[in-house]
Structure 1
């Protein structure tokens, strides 16, 4: 509970700093707080350039964040959420501490310099990195580490959007992908803490101020259903176009990766010159659409423009989220649909803004396949309960359409393209009825807590596992040390006098009575080729499990059959 509160507080402060960075860089690059809503105007810092300064802002921003990302944290490139999902599912929640700092600067520079991306992906990655860093500092087990990562993600969303419930369900539905009472409680604590800090800084008002809304006629629900179906298809189309553009950029680019955002920024700048409403996140434009200030034709132009601008920003190596762009697209689609329906059926349809709000949630649901998060976040962003029934209907239909058109979501597709399938079932059937006790090996050579790293390096070099346990003088288990971590630490001369305790970590605990399938999942996620088997108290070693032991058990079972 204490750790969840600390992570929530850190995520809340991180959200404040991140939003300040975006505002500062936007002021620096454009001379205003939000260029998207200002129209094609000149920058007061360089008035002689007129509106043509937007041709160069993405280039300058790319020259700054491109080398930063390439040198210090390549995982900070892109929209961030898939990297957090992968860390939770496959790496025991381990995220490098530097990701928080690099992601903050890179995304703020990208958005402030005109990148047409959102701030939710960066703040999720920032909060998750803070949670992972705190977990490693206090050396929690991997299952708790995953929960702390989710706490950071929830806190970031809650503080940024003043949406504590949405933060919770975003973390549970997309990051953890597992609803347990303990994890839910910890994530709620973190989200509430971050939200309190965020409200102290940003105020306690809904993110959007929609017009009054009520359903004019029961037949209007048919229009909401149609909008949900169309929005689901648009969400899938956005995710496909996003990665098609990224593939095209990969194919065309032949230079160093650090220069890619700057060179690609020329094309992004040309798009911003033609359509300045695409600059940055674009919330003022979204609000104008919801309030019915744009004609149908221009709404369609903004929808297509946002798909192109966001895809190009990510494709050239930009850093930012896709959640806010999907809300933007939904607002344009919904407002255009509502305006057209109002022209055709004026006696049936309600305000255009209601369709815009429902379209926001439906497009996100179609792209991300997260219906609970979509419903909750639209309700919290607007504070408008009257739209909840049509919103739920449209979001469920959008989710079903998205599932029918594509197996992967906008987040999991990025991982699938790397050969990582988070939905792959665990190989439980092959080991049914087998426990760790049946296959565990004797404990390998142990490393005493005070052993210098130089000595440990020699022992690890002779070990077949690349990982060995660390124990205290009384034989109590303290964690494991991998050859990789020792090598990385020794490469820095400032740590030559360190000992094994300083680089040890606690993988997910494995006990003798655990099912072998569950232990294999922990083994796959761990560093090295082995894991300690602990007694019921988790304080002492009882054995060792390795990939070779699991393979032997599988071979024996197949041989017996």
Structure 2
């Protein structure tokens, strides 16, 4: 005969029996609310983000080799894919189509939010959804972005890794039962860890998360994000080595007297950043207008247009870091640099417009390098070699165009400093980035990230819509406590009481009157049907729900109520040992009905 406890363990209920659940509840409560628990969660998320970055970069490398036959086709020129030599250079027409046939249905069916560049979705989740991101986003985004980039999509790695790390942070927070404030912080920890591991830039990861995701520099949040970023960076360096994600030539910045030229570059870069944002969404609108068929097929059909661009300018294939490095090294003429700049704007916009998945951070660096190099060469032609090395203008242009597009000046300064390790670049870099930011702000109130949300009718600069439960506590909507069952009550007596109970569940109290948990009609019936003895005490089938307190905000208790059984949840008193009420789905709906419109 199966034991009563054994049968109870098989109850298909979201509430586990007390012997297995009580210690787990205590651990999760500590992680969700304690300062030490937050440190543990930040470290775990950093480690997960570091591992995710390793897998994501491996996927990109693997798919790039598979689709192009090269480690990075952008630097190969018009050459054939050794896997299909008969196609010659024309294979680039087909690779985006083939990849689109794979990731298009994947994104459409499992995670539509994985489409596009990702960062706006994370910003929205933090600002409006309490940091909640579906866990499957991490997997779908990894595969979709790696397929898109590997097949020639002219997008970057930062948007995907931010969304991947953020989804991990949100999932960990949800498992631990973290509140909304901590959930937002854990999402930012995941974003910082992803950036740090992918680009070997721990400081940039921290400031990206705080400046763009949290938009806050609170002391506690800063410490946790640093822990996550450092942990992810250590893991990333173990896999990729302690080298920057770009290989740049040695150089020394120009003299302070040449700040006027860098200032002019900053203003021009700010205009370029805004132009990139506008063209990106203009092309996306054109693609939306032209497309009349199922969305899952859009990346494949649109891949033909992207392939045509790659056929003309193979330098647009993928992220294009080798091309960027050549521009910084001064290997291209002004005309070709401008062609690459225009080509990147079109290729990136088209990749996003056809439903591709990837970031816009790397493309903005690419555009900045092209614009900066062209500006530096032009300055050399006009003023001679006294203007300083062309590479310094390219590097400053990279940070300035990103600042103009994203309006994140601190992140732009930090990441360029981490890239170069050259302190002498700081003065011209800061001057150009600040001017690019001010120029961008003077032209438009939106960034490349917030504009995507505003187009959906979402304005993150305004207060979040008021919840219908705002200002309502659990005590205001809870129902009276039903008559409790003593722990020694037999199963047969409990079955009789549960049969006439309103919600099919009753609280169970110990000999001293303290609350033990709840007994449900389903649990008792399951045990009796499997041969449990009628005289067994009801304490054997008690389940311990997550505690809800009378003074808690109703909005905070909703997540626990949604995850609970239909019978609802008991409400604990201030001591945490007794009951003060019972909250149900019906009670919440009644509160909404009574609230003013």
TM-score by length of 2: 0.77
What is the Cα deviation at residue 436 of structure 1?
3.8
Moved more, 342-351 or 163-172: 342-351
Q: Is the 8 A contact 1:439 1:549 kept in 2?
A: no
CA RMSD of aligned residues (A): 3.6
Residue of structure 2 equivalent to 1:233: 271
CA deviations 1:219-274 (Å, max 9, x no partner) are 31001001000101111111111111111101100011111000000000000000
Q: Which structure 2 residues correspond to residues 184-263 of structure 1 after superposition, within 5 A?
A: 184-263=222-301
**Structure 1, unaligned runs of 5 or more:** 429-434, 449-461, 464-468, 479-498, 556-561
Residue of structure 1 equivalent to 2:53: 15
Q: Which structure 2 residues correspond to residues 463-502 of structure 1 after superposition, within 5 A?
A: none
CA deviations 1:488-520 (Å, max 9, x no partner) are xxxxxxxxxxx9999x9899x9957x8xxxx98
Q: Structure 2 vs 1, CA of residues 445 and 312 (structure 1 numbering), >3 Å: closer, same or farther?
A: farther
Q: Structure 2 vs 1, CA of residues 326 and 441 (structure 1 numbering), >3 Å: closer, same or farther?
A: same
Structure 2 distance, partners of 1:270, 1:325, is: 19
Structure 2 distance, partners of 1:253, 1:501, is: 53
Structure 2 distance, partners of 1:413, 1:393, is: 25
Residue of structure 1 equivalent to 2:332: 294
Structure 2 distance, partners of 1:348, 1:160, is: 37
Q: Is the 8 A contact 2:152 2:318 kept in 1?
A: yes
2:400 match: secondary structure: helix
Structure 2 distance, partners of 1:357, 1:156, is: 23
Q: 2:92 aligns with which of 50, 54, 57?
A: 54
Structure 1 distance, partners of 2:332, 2:516, is: 68
Q: Is the 8 A contact 2:481 2:580 kept in 1?
A: no
Q: Structure 2 vs 1, CA of residues 201 and 505 (structure 1 numbering), >3 Å: closer, same or farther?
A: farther
**Structure 2, unaligned runs of 5 or more:** 1-38, 485-501, 519-540, 563-567
Does 2:388 correspond to 1:350?
Answer: yes
Residue of structure 2 equivalent to 1:332: 370
Structure 1 runs of 4+ off > 4 angstroms? 437-440, 444-448, 469-478, 499-502, 504-507, 509-512, 522-528, 530-555
Q: Is the 8 A contact 1:510 1:532 kept in 2?
A: no
Q: Is the 8 A contact 2:481 2:581 kept in 1?
A: no
CA deviations 1:303-349 (Å, max 9, x no partner) are 00000000000000000000000000000001100110111111531
Structure 2 distance, partners of 1:154, 1:33, is: 27
CA deviations 1:496-554 (Å, max 9, x no partner) are xxx9999x9899x9957x8xxxx98x7999998x9999988899878989799799888
Structure 1 distance, partners of 2:547, 2:153, is: 39
2:284 match: secondary structure: helix
Q: Structure 2 vs 1, CA of residues 47 and 385 (structure 1 numbering), >3 Å: closer, same or farther?
A: same
Q: Is the 8 A contact 2:120 2:453 kept in 1?
A: yes
Residue of structure 2 equivalent to 1:279: 317
Q: Is the 8 A contact 1:232 1:399 kept in 2?
A: yes
Q: Is the 8 A contact 1:523 1:546 kept in 2?
A: no
2:156 match: secondary structure: coil
Q: Is the 8 A contact 2:272 2:401 kept in 1?
A: yes
Residue of structure 2 equivalent to 1:397: 435
Moved more, 189-198 or 214-223: 214-223
Q: 2:410 aligns with which of 372, 378, 386?
A: 372
What is the Cα deviation at residue 130 of structure 1?
1.0
Q: 2:476 aligns with which of 429, 441, 464?
A: 441
Q: Structure 2 vs 1, CA of residues 524 and 211 (structure 1 numbering), >3 Å: closer, same or farther?
A: farther
Q: Is the 8 A contact 1:477 1:541 kept in 2?
A: no
Query: What is the total number of aligned residue pairs between the two structures?
Result: 505
Structure 1 distance, partners of 2:473, 2:103, is: 52
CA deviations 1:120-161 (Å, max 9, x no partner) are 100111111111111122222222111111111100000000
TM-score by length of 1: 0.82
Structure 2 distance, partners of 1:76, 1:91, is: 16
Q: 1:384 aligns with which of 416, 422, 430?
A: 422
2:463 match: secondary structure: coil
CA deviations 1:436-472 (Å, max 9, x no partner) are 4799723148899xxxxxxxxxxxxx99xxxxx9999
Q: Is the 8 A contact 2:135 2:168 kept in 1?
A: yes
Q: Is the 8 A contact 1:216 1:350 kept in 2?
A: yes
Q: Is the 8 A contact 1:470 1:500 kept in 2?
A: no
Structure 1 distance, partners of 2:173, 2:412, is: 29
Q: 1:158 aligns with which of 196, 217, 223?
A: 196
Residue of structure 1 equivalent to 2:111: 73
Q: Structure 2 vs 1, CA of residues 216 and 132 (structure 1 numbering), >3 Å: closer, same or farther?
A: closer
Residue of structure 1 equivalent to 2:489: none
Structure 2 distance, partners of 1:279, 1:306, is: 10
1:423 match: secondary structure: coil
Structure 2 distance, partners of 1:340, 1:190, is: 43
